[in-house]
Amino acid sequence: MLVNREPGVWIDSSARLGKGCVLAPGCQVHADAVIGDSCQLGSGAVIGAGTALGAGCRVDDYAVIGKAPLRSTISAFSQERELAPARIGKGCLIGTAAVVYRGAFLGDQVLVADQATVREDVSVGDNSIVGRGVCIENGTSVGRFCKLETGAYITALSILEDYVFVGPGAVTSNDNFLGRTAERFDRMRGPTIREGGRVGAGATLLPGVIVGRDAVVAAGAVVTRDVPEGCVVMGVPARPVRDVPPEQLLELHVDEVKRRAGR
């Protein structure tokens, strides 16, 4: 049962709040949720049942953490099952109207920007950025220190390793059968982007392709086959054009990225 402990703030009697939390009017904290020390909840923010929010997190106005997914009878992922509560690491920032579903896991110091969506069974590693309006669909793994820029679409069953960059408006897909025939269920898989791979603005990655370590997909390219390690591909369909310049290789930039993150 929700109880009104402060004017306009609703907290279930079984929820636990740490020290120094600031809760704006209209926010809700549901049953068995655990809120760490020094967290901030904006107006209308909803913390779903059982959600664990690490210390020092900020959840902006009308964001929802721990939402249960909607299931259509004709959805490719329509099976009903119990999902674990959402788990949010320390120091995370969740933007206005962002939605993080049950079964999602965010590491420490992750930014989920305004109106972004992180679906069930998704993990996002420490210090990654999920930009404004980004959608990460179910069953996807995103590594540490990744940057997913505004409006990028990461389809279900994708793998993004550490230090991956995905430019604004980039699109990934996981179904070569475009929703027809039962055969698609056994073959459905999203792309894999290996450590340090970079995908330019508006690029499209087809189901199951692998972008190799330190490879670059140019803006607007359509990737229909695997991209070799350290290779730049361009065009429709994407073709190799040259090697990634030595000064852009990941090994020269990892220490600086970690330093800026305080790691």
Residue 147: give its domain's CATH number.
2.160.10.10
Are 201 and 241 members of one domain?
yes
Q: Which residues contact 92 (CB under 8 A, 6 or more apart)?
A: 53, 54, 57, 58, 106, 108, 109, 110, 111, 112
Q: What is the pLDDT of residue 6?
A: 63
Whether residue 77 is contained in a domain is answered as: no
Cβ distance 191 to 221 under 8 Å? no
Q: What is the pLDDT of residue 155?
A: 97
Q: Which domain holds residue 46?
A: 1-68+85-103
Are 185 and 251 members of one domain?
yes
Residue 182: Cβ-neighbour burial (10 angstroms; 0-12, 13-18, 19+): exposed
Q: What is the pLDDT of residue 1?
A: 46
Whether residue 49 is contained in a domain is answered as: yes
Q: Which residues contact 75 (CB under 8 A, 6 or more apart)?
A: none
What sections of the chain are H helices per DSSP? 184-187, 254-260
Residues of the chain with confidence (pLDDT) below 70: 1-7, 72-80, 179, 183, 185
Last residue of a domain, one of 103, 129, 159: 103
Whether residue 161 is contained in a domain is answered as: yes
Q: What is the pLDDT of residues 147-190, one digit of tens each?
A: 999 999 999 999 999 999 999 999 999 987 776 777 676 778 99
Order of all β-strands in the sheet with 46-47: 2-6, 9-12, 28-29, 46-47, 64-67, 99-101, 117-118, 135-136, 153-154, 171-172, 204-205, 222-223
Tell me how many domains the chain contains.
2
Q: What is the pLDDT of residue 262?
A: 78
Q: What is the pLDDT of residue 176?
A: 75
Whether residue 174 is contained in a domain is answered as: yes
